[in-house]
Structure formats: structure tokens, C-alpha cells
Amino acid sequence: MVKPVTFTFEETNIDEISTFAGRVAIFVTPDGKLDPAARRVNRLTKGAIARLVEAGVKAGDARVLAYPVGMAAEAVDVICLDKRASIEENRAAGVALAKARGKVAVLVCAGNNNKAAQIVLGLALRDYEFTDHKTDEALADTRSVTVMSTKPSEIEENARPLLAVAEGAFFTRDLVNEPANVLTTTEFADRLVAMKDLGLEVEVLEEDKLAELGMGALLSVGQGSDSPSKVVVMKWMGGETDAAPLALIGKGVVFDTGGISLKPAAGMEDMTMDMGGAGVVAGAMRALALRKAKANVVGLVGLVENMPSGNATRPGDVVTSMKGDTIEVINTDAEGRLVLCDVMHYAQETFKPAGMIDLATLTGAVIIGLGHENAGVFSNDDGLCNKFLKAANAEGEGAWRMPLGKAYADQLKSSIADVKNVGGRPAGSITAAEFLHRFVQEGTPWIHLDIAGVAHVKAETTYAPKGATGWGVLALSRLVEDAFEAKEEE
């Protein structure tokens, strides 16, 4: 898997700056002040930094001094950052360095910036490439970053949990970017089982067990494929022994043809990302394990492939969910909700969670409503929902609350079964959420996140190149930290 670049943390050593052979990053303030490292570079380059500053810089500017005379470095990156810069602005500085650096080593002269760990996170998140299937683009071994600081131990301690979250986001991106012939349901499950090495408890429920449990809705989605359907359960029990866990549920359709309700050929190749919800759950669980979160969290993902065949579910079929509700399948391309409803019911019956969040690339309708800037947020609990929205906002991951209501649920009424799996074109993302709402037990705080617009995009985002974004890993980790982790008494 792709991992974040390797960081080392050192005490500031002015003499090392002149001999560093990669790129050197220094910081100046909007009022033109130079810290000791910047003054050293200015002397080495015969006043080039001072001249650049005098020409005018403003907060957020990133300039490049190429081929700096008097230094071994191939370039100097000059970032304008106010001493009181926010977390977001420090992360943006890291993003700028990641975009500029290419594949060479970088020396970041952070000085006495007490938010330097956020520069590290921004650099780590943006410094991602998925090159597993490009034979001529192996990443160079020189992709290391040295952070010089007046308090290297403190910066390293602050950066450690942030880099754990970055690795979780990378894991999600890798999964979402993989082609379906590589990331089969079996391969997906195997990658999750491998996280036992991080301290996660992982169990794979195979088709015979799913049938025994009565997961007829989930099994109906994958019955047209040669790939076996599976449910993978991951447990991180880092909190109090008897504390009810937070449950994270992910839709893991490794490829979605639409089934018998076949999708158009144009763009179908993008349906390798239809396991995005499961990818986010997996990445979040990895992050929690790596940073040793003091919370109880269970992650459950339903892994299936939606294919047309002589054995595939037909439009008009009626299937029975684990809950016992019968479902009239109007459209086999509305399959994700059939996967989620059974996994959600199993999670509630098995773990009695303190809260439940499901994530899915569920509807194209949410993209019509919110574009690629925000995930759709649906919830039956204002308290949990507001905590999530606050966490998402703090991490710069767009999320917007959408409504629920009986009128939307009524669109799902069936004349031959308990419920239909689609309610027509109007409010398609809301009726999909109402379908899932039906499977939430009374008293369980629940959030549904429709991430169809944010999981995989055609243009680069703040923290990721085009393709898989890893959206949700940062927000979920922050939510767990803020709302579910046991706090140490002062």
C-alpha cells in the first residue's frame, strides 16, 4: 500500500541548510520578518530572500527560488505564513510544499512554529500518488522529509496521531483507486484481515453464515457474481470495557454494473469506486488502531459485486432482509441500500451501539443536489449529527445536512411487499436515506452519509490529487476523539 512519506524531526541546525541536497523550505511573515533559517538562506543566496520579500508577499503565498547560488539545494520554497496562522493555513502551507517538491527529499525549517505538526499533515495528505499499476513510475527512495524545529520532540509527538490518520486516508484512497479485477471481494477482505497486525480484531462472515443469519437483501445483490459476498467485522476496543461502541457501516460494492438494470456503458469504469463507503470505514479503523484511540469502535462492511447473469436478482423480485422486512426490488441498480440494511441490522443486534454511522456512494441524486463539495448528511439525532458536522468542518471535509420525513418514506410503499427499494426520481437521495432509516432501531442515534459526490472526483481537491479523496477518515477520527474517547482526568 501507499504510505505517507517518511518524516524525521530534528533540532534546528543552521549549518545543515547549506549542504542539504534536496529542496529547502523556509517561512517568512507577511510583514517581511525572517526567522534564523530564512536569514541563513538569505545570506547564502546573497540577499535573494530579502529581495523576494521586498517585492511583496502576502499570507499563503508560496514562491520558489530555483537553483539557489551558494547552496547545495536544488530549490528553496519560500512560504509566507503569519505567526498566528490557523490550523487550516498551516496545513495549506504543507500542501504547497507537497505540490512543489516532486520526488526529492525536503528540509522544512519550521523554527518555533508550534503548529508545525499541521504543516506535516498537509504535506503528508497531499503527497499521494497511486502508481501501483504504472510500470515506469515507481516512487524514488529519496522521498523523505526532515522537519527542523526548536522543539522537535514536541512537534513529533503532535504529528504522530496526525500521520496515523493520514495513513488511514491513504488506505482508503488505495482501496477506492484499485481496479475491480484486483480488489475483488476476497482481496478486500484479505486486506482487512491483515489489519490484525495493528491490534484490530477482524472476523469475516462468509455466504453460508450470512444465509444462516437471514441476510437475504445483501445476498441478493451479489448472487449474480462469481465473487462471494462477505461481511467483514473489525473491532477496536480501546475504551472502557463496558462502554457501548460506535458502529461504522460501509457499503462495499467492489463493482457495480447495475445488475439486470444495467448502467450505460459510458462512465461505467468509474464504478470501481462504489465500495467507497467500505473504504472509508476501513481507513478510519486503521487510523484509530494506529493512533491507539481510547474508544470502542466497530467497523462493519458488506462486500459484494453487482453483476448481471442467469442467477442475478431481477427487477420485480421480492427479497427478505435480516430484520424480516420484505423488499420489492424495483431497480437492481439501487443495490447499496440492500447491502447496508442487513449490515446495519446485524450491527445493532450484535453490538447494541451507542451510535451508528453508515457511509455509502449511494445515489447520483446527491451529486445533483450538492455537487462534489459536500457529502449528504441524514440523521435521526441532532446531538450526534451536530457533533459530526462540527468534526467535518474542523477537518475541512464538506458535509451538509439534508431532511428526512414521512412523506419521503411514503414514496417507498409497495403493493406486494413491505417496502420498495426505490421511490422514484424526486428526492432520490432522501428516499434512499428513508429506506435505511426503516432499519434503524428505536433509540439508536444514526447518521447516513451519502458520499457519492466526494469519494472519487475528477479534479484535485485541497488534500488529494484527482481520483480517490479519502473523504471522511479525518472527520470520523475527529468525531471519535471529540465525542467517544475516554478523557484523561487532569
Which pLDDT tens digit goes with each residue over 284-343? 999 999 999 999 999 999 999 999 999 999 999 999 999 999 999 999 999 999 999 999
Q: What does the pLDDT read at residue 440?
A: 98
What percent of the chain shows pLDDT beyond 70?
98
Q: What is the pLDDT of residue 459?
A: 95
Does 136 score more than 80 pLDDT? no
Helix (H, G, I), strand (E, B) or coil at 287: helix
For 3-20, what is each residue's pLDDT tens digit? 888 999 999 999 999 999
Q: Does the predicted TM-score (pTM) go above 0.95?
A: yes
**Cβ proximity of 448 and 202 under 8 Å:** no
The residues near 401 (Cβ < 8 Å, ≥ 6 apart) are 377, 378, 379, 385, 389
Beta-sheet pairing, 75-80 with 318-320? unpaired
First to last CA, the chain: 39
Helix extents (H) in 82-205 = 87-101, 116-126, 152-177, 185-193
DSSP 193: H
Mean pLDDT of the chain: 96
pLDDT tens-digit map of 410-465:
999 999 999 999 999 999 999 999 999 999 999 999 999 999 999 999 999 999 99
The three-class DSSP label of residue 129 is coil
C-alpha cell at 317: 423480485
pLDDT value for 142: 54
Copy the grid coordinates of residue 368. 445533483
- Length of the chain equals 490
* 8, β-bridge pairs: 146
Rounded to whole angstroms, the Cα distance separating 160 from 442 reads 39
What whole-number distance in Å separates Cα of residue 365 and Cα of residue 25? 44
In DSSP terms, which residues pair with 456 in a beta bridge? Answer: 468
For 180, the 3-state DSSP assignment is: coil
Active-site residues, by number, are 263, 337
H or E, element range at 138: none
pLDDT value for 483:
97
116, containing H or E segment = helix 116-126
Q: Which grid coordinates are listed for 444?
A: 439508536
Q: Tell me, what's the pLDDT at 244?
A: 98
The three-state secondary structure class of 472 is coil
Please give the Cα distance from 200 to 289 (Å, whole number): 7
3-state secondary structure labels for all residues of 63-89 = EEEECCCCCCCCEEEEEECCCCCCHHH
Rounded-to-integer distance, Cα 379 and Cα 386, Å? 10
